[in-house]
């Protein structure tokens, strides 16, 4: 009756035998379209999403039901200790964690998981980190702020032996918004270069939204074959009833009948496991998921039928489809975001954005629209800050932080208005930069600060918030600053999503977004 459990337990035991708990977990690497451990055996991800859902405040300004707070579960040592026995009962060998605060300490959780033979698929994108957290669906960019956010997360986790993969995007590309793939490819290129530069063997993953086979296959092929940068793991957030973690079985306990299918041929010819959705409760589109409910004080946890169901043992399948030939990538991707170049420019701009409130991020998008409209009316263009992944055209500032883009456009307008003081106000959102060189035009500053085109290995960004050694407290949700300026960010945590399963092309990721 516990066939699945036995399968999972056996696999886990195999890992343990090879690598006693005192030593590091075996390295998992990708060769062709499969994952392998160092002994040459294929590695299958048998995982579960381990992420508390943040607070969702529904409303017209939150069409995707994105949570407004996030929890860094791997910073909560007590909760990890509480949950570890359950994760071990499930027989899993991996978890996926969606939201991280790189300034917190993750030692205890990560080490406990490692000792239990559990790898971590770490999302480095997070919708909650307003504006910086993810490549946006509808207004995609690959810019310094997002690159830095990703690198800070990698820096905080790279010391652990059980990092299996870093997930650089979640459901960014959708059937209706397909302009973001070149930006994801650029992110894959730069993150891969960074991982190589720090001798990391972690894999690079992407979790896709479910859709028609033609859409998903094209997407997987593009991401796996892009000449710019390709991913190792393609996860598919998939939720059909007859499959893994179906939402449509609600409210009845899920039966997990997809598990034996996913872990046998012919599925294993394609997939390398999967991640069930979800350990913690999550609500999406009226469905409820989750196997475990923590008590109000967080000290204990109660499991439900989804957990107890023998077939509910979490497993995963991941599919690795990496065509060998590097297909021609017609769409060039942008350059590597360059903090030094963008910072140089910021210092030279004549009129700069002055954030009126600490949570100014939500304002930036609106103000860029306003300022661009004014510049265009005055005969200028916003081409320098724009990018078009479909045409493969990138303005020279496309890689800069949105606040620098905004200051640039404000400066252009101010200069077009012959520097009259009133042209650098934007209702109190801008101020004249007294340190800028007199009469230097924004466009000339861009020419001197920004190299024509550069792809390079990014280096570690400065740590944002000191105190990385601080004791962590995971029960409290972090504050999420404002919302995305564009409203389409996509790396939401598992939160609100709804389903339970994922498959991947090279590894797997899972989860579904709250989006309709
Ligand atoms: C976003 O990134 C920029 C540039 O790295 C940084 O200055 C800013 O503090 C970040 N914002 C948040 C909320 O992390
Ligand atoms: C800044 O811009 C926003 C959006 O246009 C506007 O509502 C606000 O009044 C402006 N000024 C300040 C100080 O926020
Ligand atoms: C964790 O944070 C919550 C909310 O801020 C607080 O109530 C709780 O006392 C904290 N727990 C610890 C152990 O610091
Ligand atoms: C990350 O944690 C630090 C330290 O507790 C806190 O100051 C900061 O606000 C957190 N960041 C986010 C985005 O929640």
pLDDT digits 0-9 by tens, 186-212 = 999 999 999 999 999 999 999 998 889
pLDDT digits (tens, 9 = 90+) for 225-248: 887 888 999 999 886 646 355 555
Confidence of residue 429 (pLDDT cuts 50, 70, 90): very high
The CB of 282 under 6 Å from ligand 2? The reply is no
The residues pairing with 512 across neighbouring beta strands, listed in sequence order, are none
For ligand 1, atom 11: residue with the closest CA = 132
Residue 369, pLDDT > 60, answer yes
Q: Which residues line ligand 3 (CB under 6 A)?
A: 473, 475-476
pLDDT at residue 202, as a whole number: 97
- Look at the block and give the residue holding tokens 């990560």: 110
pLDDT at residue 125, as a whole number: 84
- Asked whether 227 and 328 are in contact (CB, 8 A), the reply is yes
Calpha distance 63→49 (Å, rounded): 24
For ligand 2, atom 6: residue with the closest CA = 427
Residue 465, pLDDT > 70, answer no
- Asked whether 133 and 483 are in contact (CB, 8 A), the reply is no
User: Measured from the CA of 478, which atom of ligand 4 is nearest?
Assistant: 14
Give the predicted TM-score (pTM) of the model.
0.77
Higher pLDDT, 178 or 248: 178
Residue 413 CA to ligand 1 center (angstroms) comes to 25
Least confident of 55-59, 297-301, 454-458, 495-499: 495-499
Across the chain, what does the average pLDDT equal?
Answer: 78
Higher pLDDT, 236 or 66: 236
Residue 475 CA to ligand 3 center (angstroms) comes to 6
Residue 101 CA to ligand 4 center (angstroms) comes to 6
Residue 81, pLDDT > 80, answer yes
pLDDT at residue 241, as a whole number: 41
Q: Which ligand minimizes its atom distance to the CA of 368?
A: 2
Residue 329: which residues within 8 A CB-CB, separation 6 or more?
185, 225, 226, 227, 228
Q: Which residues line ligand 1 (CB under 6 A)?
A: 129-130, 132, 145, 148, 401, 464, 481
The CB of 355 under 6 Å from ligand 2? The reply is no
pLDDT digits (tens, 9 = 90+) for 392-402: 899 999 999 99
pLDDT at residue 496, as a whole number: 20
Question: Residues, the chain, total?
Answer: 516
pLDDT digits (tens, 9 = 90+) for 89-100: 988 999 999 999
pLDDT at residue 488, as a whole number: 28
Its sign, for the CA torsion 440, 349, 488, 47, is positive
pLDDT at residue 345, as a whole number: 97
Confidence of residue 107 (pLDDT cuts 50, 70, 90): very high
Confidence of residue 142 (pLDDT cuts 50, 70, 90): very high
The residues pairing with 503 across neighbouring beta strands, listed in sequence order, are 236, 274
Of 358, 362, 335, nearest to 147 by C-alpha is 335
Average pLDDT over residues 116-121: 98
């Amino acid at each position: 009756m516990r066939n699945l459990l036995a399968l999972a337990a056996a696999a886990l035991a195999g890992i343990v035998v090879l690598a006693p708990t005192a030593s590091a977990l075996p390295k998992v690497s990708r060769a062709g379209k499969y994952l392998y451990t160092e002994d040459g055996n294929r590695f299958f991800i048998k995982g579960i999403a381990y992420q508390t859902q943040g607070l969702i405040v529904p409303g017209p300004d939150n069409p995707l039901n994105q949570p407004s707070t996030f929890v860094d579960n791997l910073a909560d040592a007590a909760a990890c200790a509480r949950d570890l026995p359950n994760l071990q009962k499930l027989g899993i060998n991996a978890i996926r964690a969606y939201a991280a605060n790189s300034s917190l300490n993750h030692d205890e959780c990560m080490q406990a998981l490692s000792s239990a033979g559990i790898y971590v698929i770490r999302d480095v994108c997070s919708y909650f980190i307003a504006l910086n957290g993810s490549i946006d669906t509808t207004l995609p960019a690959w810019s310094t702020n997002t690159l830095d956010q990703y690198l800070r997360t990698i820096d905080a986790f790279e010391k652990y032996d059980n990092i299996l993969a870093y997930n650089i995007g979640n459901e960014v590309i959708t059937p209706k918004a397909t302009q973001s793939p070149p930006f994801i490819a650029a992110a894959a290129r730069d993150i891969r270069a960074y991982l190589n530069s720090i001798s990391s063997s972690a894999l690079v993953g992407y979790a896709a939204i479910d859709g028609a086979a033609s859409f998903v296959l094209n997407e997987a092929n593009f991401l796996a074959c892009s000449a710019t940068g390709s991913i190792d793991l393609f996860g598919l957030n998939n939720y059909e009833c007859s499959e893994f973690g179906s939402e449509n079985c609600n409210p009845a306990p899920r039966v997990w009948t997809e598990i034996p299918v996913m872990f046998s041929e012919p599925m294993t010819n394609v997939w390398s496991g999967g991640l069930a959705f979800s350990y913690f409760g999550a609500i999406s589109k009226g469905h409820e998921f989750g196997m475990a409910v923590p008590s109000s004080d967080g000290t204990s946890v109660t499991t439900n039928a989804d957990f107890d169901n023998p077939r509910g043992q979490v497993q995963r399948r991941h599919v690795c489809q990496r065509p060998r030939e590097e297909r021609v990538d017609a769409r060039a991707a942008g350059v590597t975001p360059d903090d030094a170049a963008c910072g140089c420019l910021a210092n030279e701009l004549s009129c700069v954005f002055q954030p009126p409130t600490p949570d100014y991020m939500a304002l930036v998008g609106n103000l860029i629209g306003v300022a661009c409209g004014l510049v265009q009316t005055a005969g200028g263009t916003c081409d320098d800050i724009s990018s078009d992944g479909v045409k493969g055209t990138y303005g020279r500032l496309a890689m800069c932080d949105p606040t620098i883009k905004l200051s640039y456009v404000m400066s252009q307008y101010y200069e077009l208005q012959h520097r009259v003081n009133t042209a650098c106000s934007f209702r109190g959102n801008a101020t004249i930069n007294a340190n800028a060189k007199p009469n230097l035009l924004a466009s000339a500053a861009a020419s001197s600060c920004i190299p024509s085109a550069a792809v390079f290995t990014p280096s570690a960004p400065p740590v944002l918030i000191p105190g990385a050694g601080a004791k962590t407290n995971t029960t409290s949700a972090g504050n999420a600053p404002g919302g995305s300026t564009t409203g389409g960010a996509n790396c939401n945590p598992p939160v609100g999503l709804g389903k339970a399963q994922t498959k991947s092309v090279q590894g797997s990721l899972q989860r579904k977004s709250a989006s309709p």
